[in-house]
Amino acid sequence: MKKLIVITLLLILGFYLISTFSSTPFGAEKVSGVKDFYLKQSPETLKVSNVVTAIVVSFRGFDTLGEVTVLFLASTALGSILYRRRTKHSGLNPQREAVISSSLVRTGAKVLFPMIILLGAYVFVHGHLTPGGGFQGGAIIATGFLLILISYRKFFINHNVLTWVEAIAGTTFVLIGIGGLIYATQNNFLENFLPEGTLNKLMSGGVVSIIYIAVGFKVGAEITGILDTLLTIKEAGLDPDEN
Amino acid sequence: MQEYLTYSVYGSAILLMLIGLYAALVKKNLIKIVIGLSILDAGVHLLFVAVGYLNNATAPIFSEAVIGKNVVMADPVPQALVLTAIVIGFGVTAVALALVVRLYRKHNTTNIDEIKNLKW
Amino acid sequence: MGIGSIIFLIGALLFILIAAIYAIIQKDLIHAVIASSLISLALSLVFYILQAPDVALTEAAIGIALSTIIFIITIRNTKRYENE
């Protein structure tokens, strides 16, 4: 009975959505004031080739600050939900120490790990020239750390190092924004105040590449912290923190 | 031809949203509910990027091949919005799964009907 | 778009819908999670055809590996099969 009501409501919703969206055909020319402004300003004034990077970092950079805050809140909330007290057997985790991985897995992970880190760093340093950027590069770096965490039993990540990397990267972002408030021509937050350079070279765009490098470090450190917290959960029966 | 393409791209994005919403409303296992929310996210992102496509467009990057010419570029504003939305969707899924682990520790079940304070 | 791109687009969308229905019907949760990661893979290819390379990279980096691994860690700490 409940399933019939739900299916009826979903069909009504789907009918209204499809009738709204099929009034303009796929690929037709739509209202284009904002798009033309960004596509004209980005290679001429700001000299950044990747228009999506210019929108995410410079034209709508405040939203990126909000998103980095949301990821930080998610990582903190996860750490506080899965909290365990540090008792004297807090280094023992029966799930991770159950099976030794074979030497094929261990050797392969040891060889692949620097290449994955290099690929991630390449993606977020060249974020303003080719598709890529801070979020993609940070996720690739976190995948490299995940490979090592799965293959080696005794690889522990020091959470203090992760906290310091996140803090320094986040502070760099906000300080560059405040620098725009003081030094830029129109005194706006997150406005460009460094010289722009030429189009399609590595040194172009002013503060855009520096902000994206800081975002790449921060996102990589946060996702690594999330994965490390999830991988070191105790089993239900052995938890010393029962409430 | 254009009508078939319109109905199939927009229709499949909306159908993906409806499948995810059905799983989030009807299913009783907690992890199935989280999978349903993740499928709902995928449908919404597809709908956004499909709205931003123009006919015979190219990617919005000013590489050396397209600088002097007069080409039509796809709309970069929905792509910037979807970039943010994908990362936030991952963060929400991670927090939801941490809550599932914590609920399992306390009540020893993942069935939403058996957890005491939650009824339909 | 050329005719080859249109055929590939419609094939990928059909694959996404079939994988989504499989993911919510299946009782073994590991199979459902693998189907969800196949949705992300095909979705990343669809984003590339719709001329959005940044979004395709982000969906591939986050949806395929990271989302699947956090689901599998959670399933390992709870039950594997969906009862009834």
Q: Which of A127, A137, A140, A121 is nearest to A51 (CA)?
A: A127
Between chain B and chain C, the number of residue pairs with CB atoms below 8 A apart is 120
Locate the chain B residue with the closest alpha carbon to A135.
B87
Q: Cβ contact (<8 Å) for C70 and A226?
A: yes
Question: Quick check: A236 contacting C, CB < 8 Å?
Answer: yes
Q: How far apart are CA B103 and CA A81, in angstroms?
A: 10
pLDDT tens-digit map of B40-97: 999 999 999 999 999 888 999 988 888 878 888 899 999 999 999 999 999 999 999 9
Q: A36: closest CA among B65, B57, B73, B69?
A: B73
Domain boundaries, chain A: 53-80+101-233
C84 vs B contacts (CB less than 8 Å): 28
Q: Name the neighbours of B, counting chains with at least 3 Cβ pairs within 8 A.
A: A, C
Asked if B74's CB is within 8 angstroms of C67's CB, the reply is no
Which residue type occupies A21? Answer: F
Structural domains for chain B: 2-107 (1.10.287.3510)
| A85: confidence class by pLDDT, cuts 50, 70, 90 | low
Say yes or no for a CB contact (<8 Å) between C58 and B83.
yes
pLDDT in tens, B6-44: 889 999 999 999 999 999 999 989 999 999 999 999 999
Going by pLDDT thresholds of 50, 70 and 90, the confidence category of residue B118 is low
Q: What is the pLDDT of residue A243?
A: 44
Give C9-58 pLDDT, tens digit per residue.
999 999 999 999 999 999 999 999 999 999 999 999 999 999 999 999 99
Indicate yes or no: CB of B6 within 8 angstroms of CB of A25. yes
Query: With an 8 Å Cβ cutoff, are A146 and C73 in contact?
Result: no
Distance CA A238, CA A93 (A): 10
- Least CB–CB distance from C58: residue in A50, A136, A231: A136
Count of residues in chain A:
243
Residues 6+ apart with CB under 8 A from B2: A25, A26, A27
Task: Tell whether A136 lies on the interface with C, counting CB pairs under 8 A.
Answer: yes
Place of tokens 């599932």: B100
Task: Say if residues B39 and C36 touch (Cβ distance below 8 Å).
Answer: yes
B61 contacts on C by Cβ (under 8 Å): 53
| Cβ pair A227:C58 closer than 8 A | no
Does A234 or B70 have the greater pLDDT score?
B70
Are B91 and A70 a contacting pair at CB < 8 A?
yes
Q: Which two tokens stand for residue A96?
A: 């991770």
**What per-residue confidence (pLDDT) applies to A235?**
54
Sign of the Cα torsion A36, A39, A42, A44 reads negative
Inter-chain CB proximity B86 and C9 less than 8 Å: no
Per the CB < 8 A criterion, the answer to whether A201 and C41 are in contact is: no
Q: How many CB atoms lie within 10 A of CB B112?
A: 16
CB-CB under 8 Å, A74 with B95: yes
Report yes or no: A58 and A194 within 8 Å, Cβ to Cβ: no
B79, B82, B94 ranked by CB distance to C70: nearest: B94
Model confidence at A238, pLDDT cuts 50, 70, 90, reads very low
Residue type at A130 in one-letter notation: T
pLDDT tens digits, one per residue of A87-117? 444 455 555 666 788 889 999 999 999 999 9
Distance between CA atoms of residues C19 and C64, nearest Å? 14
A240 pLDDT band (50/70/90 cuts)?
very low
Interface contact C58, partner A, CB < 8 A:
yes
pLDDT of residue A237: 42
Mean pLDDT of A134-159: 90
Quick check: C77 and A133 CB within 8 A?
A: no
pLDDT of C12: 95
The reported pLDDT for the residue numbered C72 is 93
Structure tokens at B70: 């007069």
Instruction: Name the neighbours of A, counting chains with at least 3 Cβ pairs within 8 A.
Output: B, C
Q: Return the minimum-mean-pLDDT range out of A84-88, B50-54, C56-60, C78-82.
A: A84-88
H-state helical runs in chain A? 2-21, 33-41, 51-54, 61-81, 103-125, 134-151, 159-183, 208-231
Token pair 């009834």: residue = C84
Count of A-B CB contacts under 8 Å:
134
CA B120, distance to chain mean position in Å, is 25
Q: Are C67 and C33 in contact (CB under 8 A)?
A: no
Candidates B72, B95, B120: best to mutate against A (most CBs of A within 10 A) is B95
